[in-house]
Structure 1
Amino acid sequence: MRLTARAVLLDMDGTLINSDASVDRAWSRWAAENGVDPAAVLPHVHGRQAHATLAMLFPERPVERNLADNARMLVWETEDTEGIVPVAGAPAFLAALRDGGVPHALVTSADRALSKARMDAGGLAIPAAWITAESVSASKPDPEGFLLAAAELGVAPADCVVFEDADAGIRAAKAAGMQVVGVGPRAAELGPTVAVETLEQVRVAPGPDGGVELRIVS
């Protein structure tokens, strides 16, 4: 499988960084404080901002309360980097994009402080183009973040390939009119253009007309 593009857009959690343990600890703490069974929320918390998840799961909750809880959980997660490691193949993949001069951007539902803490914990450099929670008015699955990244890189949405692991992110990328590489065990059943188990399966090569070719190997 080969995909051609002019830019690559990268989700963070679950795509470049394995932060599942930190996310689960924050949401389990929230659940305990609010008398909610963690098992009822944990399957739904990946890929979007916390206030958007709360609005989806508990539509009767006031927006102000969701936003306040979102802010508290961001602090908890930023302070908790225990066990955070890069996804297999992520360091080499980012280096290949950088060394190949491929335009690329980080597009995450985390805010700047949290994304920096996690990328630093995983030993990964943040690309110059960096779209975070502060950059957008709507969380994934809204396509705003990916469209902003494409505009910042000066590339048409149809010429971007997105790397994502979560349902909300894959739906956002598809809504933006972009091809999607689903990364990891959660992604294969979510309708990406192609799925890989890890980023070790992706090769970066020069593409036609100055673009990039992404080769998916087994």
Structure 2
Amino acid sequence: MKAVLWDMDGTLINSEPLWEIATYELSESMGRRLTPKLREKTVGGSFHNTATICAAHAGIRLTESDYTYFQSIMFARMRELLANAPINPGVDTLLRSLKDAGIPSFIVTNTTRELAHPAMKAIGADLFAGSICGDEVAHGKPDPLIYTTAARILKTQPHNCLVFEDSTPGMTAAVNAGCIVFAAPNATHDRPQGVHNMHTPSFVGTQAKDLRQWFRAVQ
């Protein structure tokens, strides 16, 4: 195990309820509130994916300028909400354990740099070797590109990376990139083949040595 790659929203921070609020508000601004089932299809995806689902449900077609307009509205709302996004239990201690063990942690998120930066700062930017955001690759999750790019930045191979993800698009991206993937606490149950379950119900009490053991057990 050469590195641990972390999804951010839902995995490191409890931001999914905040994205849920903003997504429902976005759909309402387009004229029709999403159903819970359709909202689930936006989890872990890009803004373009979310806006397209909202527009289709509302029966409207978006131009490129429309996407830009609605993105500005949603991102402004998310900046307000993310200001107080809580860090998931046990995350900070585990990140420090990994750093002390000399194992780099790296954030891999579909969230744009504009929104991800404040959250990373709140978690503790010094705990990470770096990060890559959805607006910095040609295709975000579920495409594997963002994970293969992260591995390349870290000068290693995807199969040497342990990944924590909570969404189906994220898990799909990591599995198809060739990483060792574990479903984070509270992960969706719709998981692609090849995703492993954590040996604990949360990150509380988990240390770097535990992740090494989990990694070796599934290689």
TM interval, short-chain normalised:
0.7 to 0.9
- 1:133-212, aligned counterparts within 5 Å? 133-191=134-192, 193-196=195-198, 197-200=201-204, 202-205=206-209
Identify if the C-alpha distance between structure 1 residues 36 and 57 changes in structure 2 by more than 3 Å, giving closer, same or farther.
closer
Deviation at 1:63, TM superposition (A): 5.6
Q: TM-score normalised to the size of structure 1?
A: 0.83
User: Could you tell me which amino acid in structure 2 is paired with residue 47 of structure 1?
Assistant: G
Identify if the C-alpha distance between structure 1 residues 63 and 48 changes in structure 2 by more than 3 Å, giving closer, same or farther.
farther
CA distance in 2, matches of 1:113, 1:62: 23
Deviation at 1:117, TM superposition (A): 1.9
Deviation at 1:67, TM superposition (A): 4.5
The answer to whether the Cα contact below 8 Å between 2:3 and 2:162 also exists between their aligned partners in 1 is: yes
CA distance in 1, matches of 2:138, 2:73: 19
Secondary structure (helix, strand or coil) at the match of 2:10 reads coil
Identify if the C-alpha distance between structure 1 residues 9 and 63 changes in structure 2 by more than 3 Å, giving closer, same or farther.
farther
Structure 1, 69-78 or 132-141: larger mean CA deviation:
69-78
Higher relative contact order (CA 8 A, sep 6+): 1
Deviation at 1:144, TM superposition (A): 1.1
Identify if the C-alpha distance between structure 1 residues 104 and 82 changes in structure 2 by more than 3 Å, giving closer, same or farther.
closer
Deviation at 1:189, TM superposition (A): 4.3
The answer to whether the Cα contact below 8 Å between 1:181 and 1:194 also exists between their aligned partners in 2 is: yes
Counterpart position of 1:213 = 212
Say how many residue pairs are matched.
206
Counterpart position of 1:209 = none
Deviation at 1:58, TM superposition (A): 4.9
The answer to whether the Cα contact below 8 Å between 2:3 and 2:161 also exists between their aligned partners in 1 is: yes
The answer to whether the Cα contact below 8 Å between 1:202 and 1:215 also exists between their aligned partners in 2 is: no
Secondary structure (helix, strand or coil) at the match of 1:149 reads helix
CA distance in 2, matches of 1:63, 1:198: 42
Secondary structure (helix, strand or coil) at the match of 2:125 reads coil
CA distance in 1, matches of 2:164, 2:9: 11
Give the one of 6, 9, 14 matched to 1:10. 6
Structure 1, 71-80 or 189-198: larger mean CA deviation:
189-198
Task: Compare the two structures and name the one with the higher helix fraction.
Answer: 2
Task: Compare the two structures and name the one with the higher strand fraction.
Answer: 1
Moved over 4 A (4+): 56-60
Deviation at 1:215, TM superposition (A): 3.8
Structure 1, 51-60 or 144-153: larger mean CA deviation:
51-60
- Residue identity over aligned pairs, in percent, reads 27
Structure 1, 69-78 or 143-152: larger mean CA deviation:
69-78
Identify if the C-alpha distance between structure 1 residues 72 and 174 changes in structure 2 by more than 3 Å, giving closer, same or farther.
same
Identify if the C-alpha distance between structure 1 residues 195 and 70 changes in structure 2 by more than 3 Å, giving closer, same or farther.
farther
Deviation at 1:96, TM superposition (A): 1.2
Secondary structure (helix, strand or coil) at the match of 1:84 reads coil
Counterpart position of 1:124 = 124
Deviation at 1:141, TM superposition (A): 0.0
Q: TM-score normalised to the size of structure 2?
A: 0.82
